[in-house]
Structure 1
Amino acid sequence: MAIRVFPSVEESNKALADYFVETGRQAIAARGRFAVALSGGSSPKKLFELLASDYRDQLEWERVDFFWGDERYVPHTDPQSNYLMAKKALLDPLNIQPAHIFAVETDLPPAEAAAAYTRTMQQYFGSQDSLPLDLDLLGLGDNAHTASLFPHTSVLTNDTVSVQALYIEEVQANRITMTAPLLNQARATAFLVYGEGKAEAVRQILEEKRDVQQYPAQLIQPENGNVTWFLDEAAASKLTQK
């Protein structure tokens, strides 16, 4: 695991954009394609916009396949949709073709949408239980959740390589999320976290004793991949070692 701390959000985003492109180039050289799981929420929007502008000529985008680590159970046209945010900030500006976009089918009932997404990934990778994304992009909530792995929820003990649906009481909403075993198959994982409001969660994940029910992001321990944290100084401010 590597922890990289930058003076500003802008420098964090640039460093992660560099990492994204380099990881993509390596994947394309090795396997002819780059399979990436995007994170949701508001944090990655600036990263996506940066990739779609300053980095648009630095990667063979027609060889990139886009998945989502989690999705809110809302229509694709809803402002809360992770898909919609990525579509506006990244996919449309880069003219990514539909064949390379693997969105969660939120027009299905939650459990069916999760099962369908699991099947989609199985078909993509040609395997029932080996679904190795080239890169997971992850964020971190101030309650130490990542993707939709929220504290004290049933999905935290799910040991299947799959996508699951669950109702999260904390936000009173249905979510669809990759399980930790699926996320942990990724060849590379990058956390993008910034802001003082995330500093305590960062400290908990990286320095507290393992307690995945309380600090779910501690579940992210890839089997054969690496994890890199991209933090601004505010998010890293409570770490005792940097």
Structure 2
Amino acid sequence: MNDRTALVTGANKGIGKQIARLLAAEGFRVYVGSRDAGRGRQAAEEIGDAARPLVLDVTDPDSIAAAADQVDRLDVLVNNAGVSPSLAPPTETSTDVLRRTYETNVFGVVAVTNAFLPALRRSPRPRVVNVSSGTGSLTWSTSPNPQFAPGSGGAAAYRSSKAALNALTVLYAQTLAEEGFKINALAPGMRATGLNSLAAEAGGDPAEAARGAVRLALLPDDGPSGSFFSWDGTSVPW
């Protein structure tokens, strides 16, 4: 073990838990971010001695501040926490659903990233991975892609939130480039998780997507920043 540290939000299950597990295997001390203390503690115990539970609700400023106070230095931040409460098109999506989705998928990422910037700045090689979605690609949404039917307009709240997250990824990468940050977005592909009914029915292994996130977390100094990658390492169009 060395002194490298990582934080994964929404890490008590699904892709986040697998990312935390793989980072621990790479020698990181991993903070397992979870809204529920019991679930976070159980996930950390299952991952092993390198994992530490960290109560973190990305929609709660007090929870974020308390979590940030517990982390002195951070080498890797994986913004994985996300929600998809509706698969409806925009014509059937309420502003309440939009707000709830953006609160976690967009505002939560900004709040967590900014709160942990002091810890990240203490790292010689700070890395940030934003878990996005291929459905947030405007290019793929308007052209044929095997992952989903173009022009369907469904899951408007989730897909638009991930498009916004992609934009923020670029802006953070530009803002922090001179400080040595590498900040990228990941499209994990459809995975069998509890995100929504489509994800629950998907056959994709969350661990496969997690390997893509870890690859971005371990980027060398000459690696890319402000880019969008699929789980397999290929570039995704914005």
Please indicate the TM-score interval, normalised by the length of the shorter structure.
Answer: 0.3 to 0.5
Please, what TM-score do these two structures have when normalized by structure 2? Answer: 0.41
The structure whose residues are more often helix, as a share, is 2
The structure whose residues are more often strand, as a share, is 1
Higher relative contact order (CA 8 A, sep 6+): 1
